Amino acid sequence: MTLLGVDSLVACHGLLQAVRGVSFDLAEGRILAVVGANGAGKSTMLRTIAGAHRAAAGTVTFDGADVTHVPAHRRVRRGIALVPEGRKLFADLTVEENLLVAGRRARLGRWRLDTVLDAFPMLRALRGRRAASLSGGEQQATAIARAVMTNPRLLIVDEVSLGLSPVAVDVVYECLTVLRRAGTTLILVEQDLQRALSVAEHVLCVLEGRVALSAAAGTVTREQVTDAYFGLHPNLSEQP
């Protein structure tokens, strides 16, 4: 069943068109990896899907309903959660307080403080620590856990492993594996191409605001994705 539909989506920063007619569908329970160079429009696309950036044209549908002009906080209530690049934690609040703030906007579901801490066991020992004192990996795990507190059907994580050590990346992906097993649909922006192709069922490469490649991760080669990344590959259009 299609959970998310994006059709001819356009988003701008002033006169600059950052997202240019992007279209794709994402089935429930699937993992989509989004790759592309810095400035390709990935973050703007995801923020527009989540309602944090206004769409200039096109439509976003979620669970069959048009949410293109639905405010971000109402999209959270419908089941869309975004972990933004840079994490955007409340630095002076503790890990537990960051989670509880998100829980106030939560949908009904399995995820609450105790179940989230079970899924993210590294955070249990950190629950009384201020977010500002955490390492990069701990902050990323906290940011993802905070989004999970809203009981999302679709979790969007921008720049999963950016700036993290290999050990921290492994820990974060272990947490994402728990969410995958729970049936959460995931969109991950990932600069580590090998990691992206190993965890996702579908890969979307964005180049200058457009989809340069869309293919099943198991059928596309690293070389094809790299060529699309640099604009050397013809557009492939296959829905996730």
- Using a 10 angstrom Cβ sphere, with 0-12 exposed, 13-18 middle and 19 or more buried, the burial of residue 198 is exposed
Tokens describing residue 52: 């944090």
Asked if 24 contacts 59 with a C-beta cutoff of 8 angstroms, the reply is no
Domain, as residue range, for 194: 2-237
Cα–chain-centroid distance for residue 101? 20
What confidence tier does 231 reach under pLDDT thresholds 50, 70, 90? confident
Q: Is the pTM of this model over 0.95?
A: no
Nearest residue to 189 via CA among 164, 226, 159, 222: 159
What confidence tier does 14 reach under pLDDT thresholds 50, 70, 90? very high
Asked if 49 contacts 80 with a C-beta cutoff of 8 angstroms, the reply is yes
CA 83/CA 140 separation, integer angstroms = 9
**pLDDT 10s digits, 202-228:** 999 999 999 999 999 989 888 999 999
Q: For the chain, what is the domain count?
A: 1
**pLDDT 10s digits, 132-184:** 999 988 999 999 999 999 999 999 999 888 878 888 888 888 888 888 888 89
What confidence tier does 237 reach under pLDDT thresholds 50, 70, 90? low
Q: How large is the average pLDDT for residues 65-89?
A: 93
Q: Find the CATH number of the domain harbouring 185.
A: 3.40.50.300
pLDDT at position 239 = 56
CA 94/CA 134 separation, integer angstroms = 10
